Amino acid sequence: MKEVYEVSPRELEFFFTDQISVFDKVIPTQVPHKGETLCRTSAHWFQVVEDLGIRTHFLRLEGGDRMRVRRVEVIPDYDKIMPTTKNFLIPLEVIARYYVAGSFHDRIKGGRIQPEDAGFPAGHMPAYGEPLPEPFVEVTTKLEKVDRELTRDEALAISKLSRAEYNDLVDAVLKIDARLNEDVERRGLIHVDAVSDGSCSSTRSAPRTRIGSGMSKNTRGEGKWNSARNSSGNTIARSGITKPLWTRGPRGNRSRTSRPFPMT
């Protein structure tokens, strides 16, 4: 869990606490040094992502359990986001899945997702934990009380991103996955799925990407990332990517502010 403080019109400070939460409920027991561990781990991965040429909101560490980040506007009212709006949090979460696990397994087993839509041969029912033939990318809402699955057209409608900007966001997620999973694989880890989000900069150039405080991701493809749509309206990346691992914070307690943030 993080606490968020306003330190200037352009910067926020994240304080990584030792608290934990389960199903959006704060657990009284704290984990010593958890905050510092996640803060330093996050700073490491932010630097890795910056080295890929992808901008993030990270600025610098302020001690072991605090970091400064660029401030962007959070606009919960979709009608107030325009195609020309700049420096705002894109109200989408991009989920890249690499294994049949968790709720994804439940949806396949329940028939909400067909195995063929996830890249499996017709007639094959994948087992729990089976690697996906191709990364399966989904998009949900970010600022609503409960995440809602979106088609690409719905995602474009609420975010006001152009198709090129949307593709850039997905491409950035897959590129990060490719680089980070190379690291975790060497340590005997796998990356099951990832939740990412981004923001548009003050120049409305390529979106900044925010990565969570945890581990990360993989692939060995080069060049421009290509994607195709399946019959469920999801994006299937076709770049030879396999695997990842990365956590996200609690939904109801993602952050607390020392002062209310102004909304546009």
Q: Summarize pLDDT for 89-103 with one digit per residue, the tens.
A: 999 999 999 999 999
Mean pLDDT of 244-260: 31
Residue 159 vs residues 72, 77, 102, 200: alpha-carbon distances, Å: 15, 10, 27, 10
- Would you state the pLDDT for residue 184? 86
More confident residue, 5 or 260: 5
More confident residue, 78 or 23: 78
Domains along the chain with CATH numbers: 2-237 (3.30.470.20)
Picking from 237, 213, 212, 208, the residue whose alpha carbon sits closest to that of residue 225 is: 237
- For residue range 105-141, list pLDDT tens digits in order: 999 999 999 999 999 999 999 999 999 999 999 999 9
Model confidence band, residue 216 (pLDDT cutoffs 50, 70, 90) = very low
- For residue range 151-196, list pLDDT tens digits in order: 999 999 999 999 999 999 999 999 999 898 888 889 999 888 889 9
Residue 235 reports pLDDT greater than 70? no
Residue 233 vs residues 116, 136, 255: alpha-carbon distances, Å: 13, 11, 32
DSSP conformational letter for 83: T
Q: How far apart are CA 208 and CA 87, in angstroms?
A: 10
More confident residue, 33 or 194: 33
- Would you state the pLDDT for residue 154? 98
Picking from 246, 247, 248, 244, the residue whose alpha carbon sits closest to that of residue 132 is: 244
More confident residue, 199 or 222: 199
Residue 24 reports pLDDT greater than 70? yes
- For residue range 34-93, list pLDDT tens digits in order: 999 999 999 999 999 999 999 999 999 999 999 999 999 999 999 999 999 999 999 999
Written as six digits, the tokens of 22 are 């389960």
- Would you state the pLDDT for residue 25? 85
Q: Taking the alpha carbons of 18, 19, 21, 24 in that order, is the dihedral positive or negative?
A: negative
Task: Count CB neighbours of 185 within 10 A.
Answer: 17
- Would you state the pLDDT for residue 202? 76
User: Do residues 235 and 227 make contact, with C-beta atoms less than 8 angstroms apart?
Assistant: yes
Picking from 248, 174, 187, 250, the residue whose alpha carbon sits closest to that of residue 217 is: 174
Q: How far apart are CA 114 and CA 63, in angstroms?
A: 48
Model confidence band, residue 258 (pLDDT cutoffs 50, 70, 90) = very low
Q: How far apart are CA 49 and CA 38, in angstroms?
A: 16
Written as six digits, the tokens of 130 are 């089976």
Model confidence band, residue 207 (pLDDT cutoffs 50, 70, 90) = low
Q: In sequence order, which residues have a C-beta less than 8 Å from that of residue 63 and are 6 or more positions away?
A: none
